[in-house]
């Protein structure tokens, strides 16, 4: 690897990616904004963080919840065909398609630069994978110690989101069979990458499994603790750093990461955390 300066195109990619994270955080802030109180009505202070009619979860309910989530996930195209959610779907598809068109030009630049060596050591695939899996487990343990049912439920919902993201990304990886950037020779063809990988499902590129998992877990915590305004920022910044590291370590193309972030957010926000 030769040391090359960080190009403007790479900087633009970083800026666009973290702008998308900030946008998600802003949307959460808008959702969390309290309703105005009129002079005729005084709303008493909330005594619990759990919103009304929230979806329930327990160890016993977890398997059936995941199965129900999967039904909703795989039937989502039917809803789009009936005219529902078409605008955000078109936006995600359009941005992903745009990144796919530029992946062949961006990936070689990240291959040649040495600007992210320290960052890559800190956010390597093994470390980030363990961190994503340990967050719900440690959070649940802490909830048991503190006898905090809300904390325990948050951890279980994060685990549910993690399971949903693993199933979805595994199926998509198995179908797309996209080569990772690291599988391609430095002077190889970065444009012909789909249906080329003969590795295991977990070693293919589209979408990024780390990113979809990171954003699914981050969204659960950002939504459940949105009244603490710093939580969404921290959750999405960490998830964004993990997603970006998948590009700098040559594990994924930018399009893989963008789609993974959108899917992870959607799984948790509109599936796992859906009110009944």
pLDDT of residue 53: 55
Q: How many folded domains does the chain comprise?
A: 1
Residue 199 lies in a domain: yes
225 is a domain residue = yes
Tokens of 72: 């909703």
Q: Residue range 140-165: average pLDDT?
A: 96
Task: Tell whether 197 is covered by a domain.
Answer: yes
In angstroms and rounded to an integer, the radius of gyration of the C-alpha atoms of the chain is 20
Helices (H) and strands (E) in the chain, counts: 10, 0
Strands (E), 20-94: none
Q: In this model, does residue 239 exceed pLDDT 90?
A: yes
Give yes or no for a cis peptide into 213 (omega within 30° of 0).
no
Q: 27 pLDDT exceeds 70?
A: no
Question: Does 132 reside within a domain?
Answer: yes
Q: Give the angle 127-132-137 at the CA atoms, nearest 5°.
A: 115
Q: Would 29 be classed as within a structural domain?
A: no
CA 98 vs. chain centroid, Å, equals 19
Tell me the pLDDT of the chain averaged across its residues. Answer: 82
- At 117 the pLDDT is 84
What value does the mean pLDDT take over residues 123-134?
92
Report if residue 4 sits inside a domain. Answer: no
Residue 5 maps to a domain: no
Q: Which domain holds residue 136?
A: 58-272
Residue 219: name the closest of 252, 276, 261, 164 by CA: 261
Contacts of residue 109, defined as CB under 8 A and 6 or more positions apart, other chains included, come to 4, 7, 9, 10
State the average pLDDT over residues 87-99.
92
Average pLDDT over residues 230-252: 94
In this prediction the pTM is 0.79
Cα separation, 95 vs 101, in Å, equals 10
């Amino acid at each position: 690897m030769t040391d090359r300066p960080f190009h403007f195109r790479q900087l633009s990619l970083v800026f666009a990616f973290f702008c998308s994270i900030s946008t998600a955080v802003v949307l959460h802030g808008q959702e969390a904004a309290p309703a105005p109180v009129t002079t005729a009505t005084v709303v008493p202070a909330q005594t619990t963080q759990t919103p009304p009619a929230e979806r329930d979860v327990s160890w016993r309910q977890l398997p059936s919840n995941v199965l129900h989530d999967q039904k909703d996930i795989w039937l989502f195209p039917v809803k789009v065909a009936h005219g529902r959610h078409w605008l955000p779907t078109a936006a995600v598809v359009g941005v992903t398609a745009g990144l796919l068109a530029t992946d062949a030009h961006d990936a070689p630049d990240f291959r040649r630069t040495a600007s992210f060596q320290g960052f890559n050591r800190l956010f390597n695939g093994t470390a980030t994978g363990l961190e994503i899996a340990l967050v719900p487990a440690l959070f649940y343990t802490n909830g048991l110690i503190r006898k905090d049912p809300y904390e325990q439920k948050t951890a279980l919902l994060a685990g549910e989101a993690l399971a949903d993201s693993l199933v979805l990304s595994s199926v998509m990886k198995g179908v797309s069979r996209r080569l990772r950037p690291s599988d391609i020779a430095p002077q190889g063809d970065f444009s012909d990458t789909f249906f080329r990988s003969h590795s295991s499902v977990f070693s293919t590129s589209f979408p990024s499994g780390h990113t979809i998992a990171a954003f699914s877990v981050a969204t659960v915590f950002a939504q459940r603790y949105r009244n603490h305004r710093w939580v969404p920022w921290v959750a999405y910044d960490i998830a964004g750093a993990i997603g970006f590291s998948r590009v700098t370590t040559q594990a994924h193309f930018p399009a893989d990461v963008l789609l993974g972030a959108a899917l992870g957010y959607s799984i948790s926000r509109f599936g796992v955390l859906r009110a009944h």
